[in-house]
Chains A and B, each alone.
Chain A
Amino acid sequence: MMASLVRGLAVMLGLLLLWQLLVWGTGVPRYLLPEPLAVFEALWLQGPLILHHALLTLAEIVLGLVLGLLLGGLMALVLASSSLLSRWLLPLVIASQAVPVFALAPLLVLWLGYGMASKVAMAVLVIFFPVTVSFHEGLRRVERGWIEQARVMDAGAASILWHIRLPAALPAFGAGARIAAVVAPIGAVIGEWVGSAGGLGYLMLHANARMQTDLLFAALLVLCLMAMALWLIVDRLLRRLIFWQPDTLHAA
């Protein structure tokens, strides 16, 4: 834990140094690429403003993530519950992904307004597919012996789903949820770019238009930190939830 923190800090400092050297070496004007110090200055001076917008974006991301995981999980369960539903719905789920989701953003803003709803919907849309597909795959690929054994033990379909299929599919669900945690911020920010009155995406667009590049970078930095923190939390929760699955990749 400590070591990984030190490693992360070292990488960060290295990148900052590189950035500073780049600015010094090329002499690019401040409105194209501000030096790190300027960005931190903006972060400090505009702190309350950034915080206000960051909280808005965070709320959109978290709401979108929770709703997306719920809806994706439910869809996977529906698909797994009946082969008839699966035959009719699965092509629909896949076709829904063939529509470039980002092209729908203006439409969502039109339908759901400039407020949070359209951004949450956007995040849900990008999350829904990876969660559904990976969870559904997990529900399908449960060890056959487990199911057979349960049938000999007189277990009903619901009992098998609850006691065997669901826990057995959790690792696959986890894979989908990790992807979801990474793409959720993208969905929310795209939604803000298309039309909004608040949020980090809005702030960045605004700062860009006024050549406040240092503010733009500061907002971007906060967005990155938020996304990373979100991923770490989701990863940690999933590891706790799927406690029986050891990490064999880098096991000592």
Chain B
Amino acid sequence: MSARPPGFRIEVPELAFGNDVLLQNFDASFTGGGWTCLLGPSGSGKTTLLRLAADLQQGGRAIADDGMPLAGRVAYMAQTDLLLPWLSAEANVLLGWRLRGHGRVGAAARARARALLAEVGLGDQAGLLPQALSGGMRQRVALARTLMEDRPVVLMDEPFSALDAITRYRLQDLAAGLLAGRTVLQVTHDPLEALRLGQEILVLKGRPARLAERIHLSSPPPRPADAPELTGLHAKLLAALAGSPAPERRAAA
């Protein structure tokens, strides 16, 4: 990375799906070089915020705080693995290189992809097609593909959701190590995961959605799950999430 990873702001005047106003006069900023976790009930607009940051969603915009466009500096990991079924795990990890037309993928890039696959525990599966992999393995390939992009801003939508508890714990450590110092925005359903990884934890709630809670953690991630400071915050987060239930989405939405 050449320069310091930029922070960014997301501004949304109004974003509605049909009559359902999801976001209104929404404005949130994300610290450059920091790891932010977005929590909130299903349908609270977490994924929409991530898509706005990735420039995949109309209705709002994301502005980098260094005045340069955010496009081209973002890696995005969607909720589904989006692996291409005709490419091997390794070729999927190298997809960005292939798409940007770097011609033949160089030996260095190939070695990096192999190393990343080995780090997510798929060293022996590099040559397999996605259909031969389990759901958790596929998600790990998608994670490796995201890390391979080597971008200053990383957006991840529930990147560990399909993993078993042990693998999840290990990969949280891995991601925290590899992405340290970058601007990370991660959507998660798991308060404990947010507490392990986030330097900033945002709780999104209501309709239109607003930031119901903002917690700042100063100790560096990844934090051990039994760290004493987390216990109190865990209860606080659960209360914030459960507290006043968000209004039900209309059936038509």
| Closest partner residue, chain B, to A145 (CB atom) | B82
Asked if A160 meets B99 with Cβ closer than 8 Å, knowing A152-B76, A244-B131, the reply is yes
CB–CB A163/B99 < 8 A:
yes
Q: A154 near B: Cβ within 8 Å? A: yes
B149 touches A153 (CB 8 A): yes
In contact, B149 and A167 (Cβ under 8 angstroms): no
Smallest CB-CB separation from A160: which chain B residue?
B99
B131/A163 in contact, CB under 8 A: no
Q: Indicate if the CB atoms of B56 and A152 lie closer than 8 Å.
A: yes
B33 proximal to A (CB < 8 A): no
In the complex, the chain A residue whose C-beta lies closest to that of B77 is A149
Mask: chain A, 146-164; 1 = CB below 8 Å from B; 0 = not: 1011111111100110011
Complex contact A148–B56 (CB within 8 A): yes
Q: Is the CB of B80 within 8 A of A145?
A: yes
A239 to chain B minimum Cβ distance, whole angstroms, is 13
Flag if A155 contacts B82 (CB, 8 Å): no
**A25 contacts partner chain B, Cβ-Cβ < 8 Å:** no
Is A246 close to B, CB under 8 A? yes
CB within 8 Å of B: which of A193-252?
243-246
- Are the C-beta atoms of B131 and A246 separated by less than 8 Å? yes
* Docked-complex contact B96 and A148, CB < 8 angstroms: no
Please report whether the interface of chain A is mostly helix, strand, loop or mixed according to DSSP.
helix
Instruction: Assess the A159–B86 pair: CB atoms within 8 A.
Output: no
Query: Which of chain B's residues have a CB closer than 8 A to the CB of A152?
Result: 54-56, 74-76
Complex alpha-carbon distance, A145 and B149, angstroms: 17
- Give B38-81 as 1s and 0s: 1 = Cβ < 8 Å from A's Cβ atoms: 00000000000000001110000000000000011011101010
Interface size classification for chain A: 20 to 34
Q: Choose among A143, A153, A154 the residue with the greatest number of B CB atoms under 10 Å from its CB.
A: A153
Instruction: State the Cβ distance, B105 to closest chain A Cβ, in Å.
Output: 12
On whether A153 and B56 interact (CB within 8 A), knowing A145-B80, A159-B101, the answer reads no
Q: Could you tell me the distance between the alpha carbons of A164 and B85 in the complex, rounded to whole angstroms?
A: 10
Q: Which of B85, B100, B129 contacts A153 (CB 8 A)?
A: B100
Within A80-127, which residues are at the interface with B (CB < 8 Å)? none
Interface residues on chain B, number (Cβ under 8 Å):
23
* Contact yes or no, A154 B85, CB < 8 A: no
Residue of A nearest to B99 (CB): A155
How many Å from the CB of B187 to the closest CB on chain A? 15
In the complex, the answer to whether B84 meets A167 with C-beta atoms within 8 Å is: yes
CB-CB < 8 A to A168: which residues of B? 84
Interchain CB contact (< 8 A) of B85 among A145, A151, A160, A245: A245
B249 part of interface (Cβ distance < 8 Å): no
The answer to the question of B95 belonging to the interface, with a C-beta cut-off of 8 Å to chain A, is yes
Interface string of B74-110 (1 = CB under 8 A from A): 1110101010111000000001101111000000000
Q: How far is the CA of A156 from the CA of B98 in the complex (A)?
A: 11
A145 touches B78 (CB 8 A): yes
Give the residue among B96, B99, B129 with the most A Cβ atoms within 10 A.
B99
B74 to chain A, nearest CB (A): 6
Question: B74: which A residues are within 8 A, CB to CB?
Answer: 152
Which chain A residue shows the least CB distance to B129? A244
Q: Say which residue of A148, A149, A167 sits within 8 Å of B86 (CB atoms).
A: A167
* Contact in complex: A159, B54 (CB < 8 Å): no
In the complex, the answer to whether A146 meets B100 with C-beta atoms within 8 Å is no
In the assembled complex, which residues on chain A have CB atoms less than 8 Å from the CB atom of B78?
Answer: 145, 148-149
| Docked complex Cα distance between A225 and B147 (Å) | 55
B131, A149: Cβ atoms under 8 Å? no
In the complex, A212 Cα to B222 Cα: how many Å?
88
Q: How many angstroms between the C-alpha atoms of A146 and B98 in the bound complex?
A: 14
Extra inter-chain contacts (13) besides given A153-B149, A243-B86, A244-B85, CB under 8 Å: A145-B80, A146-B82, A148-B78, A149-B82, A151-B56, A152-B56, A153-B99, A154-B71, A159-B99, A159-B100, A167-B84, A244-B129, A245-B85
Supply 15 A–B pairs (Cβ within 8 Å), ascending by A: A145-B82, A148-B56, A149-B78, A149-B95, A150-B95, A152-B56, A153-B100, A154-B96, A154-B100, A163-B99, A164-B99, A168-B84, A244-B86, A244-B129, A244-B131
What is the interface of chain A, defined by CB distance below 8 A to chain B?
143, 145-146, 148-156, 159-160, 163-164, 167-168, 243-246
